[in-house]
Amino acid sequence: MKHRHGQPPSGLRGSWRPLVQIGLGLATAVGLWAACTALLNGTGSAPRATRDEFGPTVAGTSPPAGAPPDGMVWIPGGEFSMGCADPRGQPFGGNDPMRDARPIHRVAVDGYWMDRTEVTNARFAEFVAATSYVTVAERAPRAEDFPGAPPENLVPGSLVFTPPEGPVPLSNHYAWWAYVPGADWRHPTGPGSSIDGRDDDPVVQVAHEDAAAFASWAGKRLPTEAEWEFAARGGAAGRLYPWGGEFRPAGRSMANTWQGSFPARDTATDGHAGLAPVASFPANPYGLHDLSGNVWEWCADWYRPDTYATAAAQGAVVRNPTGPADSFDPQEPGQSKRVLRGGSFLCTDQYCSRYIVGTRGKGEPSSGCNHIGFRCVRSP
Ligand SMILES: [Ca+2]
């Protein structure tokens, strides 16, 4: 098992025991970041794929009659090649082989509506105003769930990216993640922060169940991983990015990611240090914004590294896959994970190149973070 970008050694975790006790969570800080860092062993059976293995995308159905739901666009569905070739060696390809995104295999999805953008603070606030919903990060951890944790640690909070003063080894996520009491969707980086004037930023510090609760209230649902990828590809086949094959075509930034030396200094040459308001960058051919970078997006599926191997072994087009029945992450065998997609403003080829459209992320579902949000879909 490689650990170059994986879990810190247990001794380091031991030094963080109070935090670990507070969160399944903080284990999860790692889990969440592992979403952006994983060097998976995978099953060992996934063959190295090439771009040649992508077949054409065959678009599906026309939109149903009537006006589109507010803020949504029609995704025609159809048959496509799902997955990611090894991006190492490509410009901005990073150093992760992305083994959990292979084999590239044929998948078909029915048509659906999808939110043009990530769900914003303004929209999430409407939901909370209408329902008095309290997010996971705003609830105090229960003592029975964290035996041995000091009572003073059983306070609501969430995970916040906290850049170090200078360069640090990239093998230890704890150098830039902290559990911050009082961090929640209204205070994305802690009690001193706010979302005033940030109506159009994507909502963050939402756990998977918070996202699902919003979706249910809105008459929508979280996308399956296959729906997310079909939409992100915009009808094209095998491209590295939602907009094409070049990360910065003609020198233009197409997504909110990280520039500069990670994790100490984001030079923000793309115009945004931290979150960007949704739709700050061009839409893909289906009219969807921010599929790459800005915030990770929760999907409905459980995560397993062998999901694609299992699907491909069926030897036929996989129709409307909803993911495995359970979760397994060899990096954190005791933690269930849901799929995350798209990468975030923290992604950089120095560390995480999951702004590449076919790559997969994962997160412990009860944890929010200030680089994780979501968008919804609706079936006709
Ligand atoms: Ca940026």
What's the CA gap between 337 and 24, in Å, rounded? Answer: 12
Residue 33 pLDDT greater than 80, yes or no:
no
Provide the H-helix boundaries in the chain: 10-15, 17-22, 24-34, 121-131, 208-217, 225-233, 307-313
Question: From the CA of 200, how far away is ligand 1's center (Å)?
Answer: 16
What pLDDT is recorded for position 153? 79
When the pLDDT of each residue in the chain is averaged and rounded to a whole number, the result is 87
Residue 117 Cα to ligand 1 midpoint, Å, equals 17
For 137-167, write each residue's pLDDT tens digit: 999 988 888 788 888 878 999 999 999 999 9
> Which of 60-64, 280-284, 312-316 has the highest average model confidence (pLDDT)?
280-284
Q: CA-to-CA distance for 58 and 69, rounded, in angstroms?
A: 24
Say whether pLDDT at 23 is over 70: no
Average pLDDT over residues 9-14: 24
- Higher pLDDT: 192 or 143? It is 192
- 52-56, 132-136, 332-336 — which is least confidently predicted? 52-56
pTM: 0.88
Given a cut of 70, is residue 98 above it in pLDDT?
yes
Q: How far is the CA of 88 from the centre of ligand 1 (A)?
A: 22
Alpha carbon of 79 to ligand 1 centroid (Å): 33
CB atoms within 10 A of CB 253: 18
266 CA → ligand 1 middle, Å: 7
Point out the least confidently predicted range of 6-15, 71-80, 115-124, 315-324: 6-15
Three-state SS annotation for 73-135: EEECCEEEEECCCCCCCCCCCCCCCCHHHCCCEEEEECCEEEECCCCEHHHHHHHHHHHCCCC
Structural contact between residues 118 and 374, judged by C-beta atoms closer than 8 angstroms: yes
326 CB burial (10 A radius; 0-12, 13-18, 19+): exposed
Domain ranges of the chain: 1-380
- State mean pLDDT over 191-218: 98
Residue 31 pLDDT > 70, yes or no? no
Instruction: Tell me: pLDDT of 20 over 70.
Output: no
pLDDT of residue 151: 84
192 CA from centroid of ligand 1 (Å): 22
CB 183 within 8 A of CB 157: yes
Residue 69 pLDDT greater than 80, yes or no: yes
Indicate whether 17 pLDDT > 90: no
Instruction: Please tell me the predicted confidence (pLDDT) of residue 195.
Output: 98
29: pLDDT strictly greater than 60:
no
CA 355 / ligand 1 centre spacing (Å): 12
Measured in angstroms, how far is the CA atom of residue 46 from the centroid of ligand 1?
33
The residue ranking higher by pLDDT, 50 or 288, is: 288
**In this structure, CATH architecture of domain 1-380:** Alpha-Beta Complex (3.90)
CA distances from 77 to 70, 226, 356 (A): 19, 10, 21
Average pLDDT on 336-356 reads 97
CA of 255 to the centre of ligand 1 (A): 8
- Residue 2 has a pLDDT of 29
